Amino acid sequence: MFGCFVRYPDPTLIEVLGHMGWDFLVFDCEHGTSEPRDVENMVRAAELRAVTPIVRVPTNAQPIILRYMDTGAQGVQVPWVNTAAEAEAAVRSVKYGPRGIRGLAGIRANDFNQRVPLSEYVTFANRETMIIIHIETLDAVKQLPEIVKIDDIDVIFIGPTDLSHSAGVPGQLQHPDVQAIFQQITETVLGSDKALGIMVQNADGAKQWQERGARYIAINFEALLGPAMRGYLQTVRA
């Protein structure tokens, strides 16, 4: 699956991107300014074009995850997960009982309790809601063999920039130490029942990671916008 990260709280932008053919769009509430009300409207815009809305929550905290999931987002990306216990806490925040502790109410995610019984919705939500865990530190890499054992995690997502920072070479993604970390993560995830996810910088990177076994591949909106606009201006000003 191929998706795009968007950090701007603009439903119209999401609607436009929905026409482009993305499999999923990630509303980045960790490094962006979107609040639950913004995300609710962005989810509506994504649904207009049948693109899967995913939310990257600001932090791995149950009350925060609850509010963003109640908007109707179909999956959650949880940043800065460093241990199996933290991964388990994220899962429990997303899932309803008996697997988790997510509070149940008649909210937008279940059509305000107007269409199906809550018991039916809970079963559906627990089965279908995606959980993507970010691996962004050296501590997380060390704990990854235990993290991948946690049930109901769908994707282990490599955060390249934060990993390079944790390795002491911020932004140097081609540094041998960083590449070795990527390979270690890849081998661990591909040896588990989880899908491998990654943030890439361009189409070449996406193809390379696809060949390495990644199945959940994302790119930042700015990584696409910048080269397209600079290329246009260079061409017309030549």
- The contacts of residue 29 (CB under 8 Å, 6+ apart) are 35, 39, 55, 56, 57, 58, 68
Cis previous bond, 160, omega within 30: no
Instruction: Tell me, rounded to whole angstroms, the distance of Cα 116 from its chain centroid.
Output: 28
* Annotated active-site residue in 31, 134, 165, 175: 31
Q: Check if the beta carbon of residue 82 is closer than 8 Å to that of residue 143.
A: yes
For residue 134, give the nearest of 89, 85, 82, 84 by alpha carbon.
Answer: 82
Active site (annotated) includes residue 31: yes
Distance CA(65)–CA(56), nearest Å, equals 9
Please give the positions annotated as active site: 31
